[in-house]
Copies of this chain bind each other. A is one copy, B any other.
Amino acid sequence: MPNAQAMLDTYPREFNVDAGLLARAIESLVECANTCTQCADACLSESDPAPLAKCIRLNLDCADVCTTTSRVVSRQTEYDANVTRSLLEACITVCHGCGDECDGHRQHMQHCAICADSCRRCEQVCRELIAAMT
Contact = CB atoms under 8 A, between A and B. Distances in A.
A16 to B, nearest CB: 14
Chain B CB count within 10 A is highest, among A11, A37, A111, for A37
A1 interface: yes
A45 B10 contact: no
Contacts of A90: 83, 86-87, 89-90
Number of copies: 4
A68 interface: yes
Interface residues of A, number: 66
Chain B CB count within 10 A is highest, among A39, A64, A97, for A64
Nearest to A39: B7
In the complex, the 8 A-B pairs of residues with the closest C-beta atoms, listed nearest first: A54-B78, A7-B38, A86-B90, A10-B111, A10-B110, A86-B93, A45-B77, A68-B68
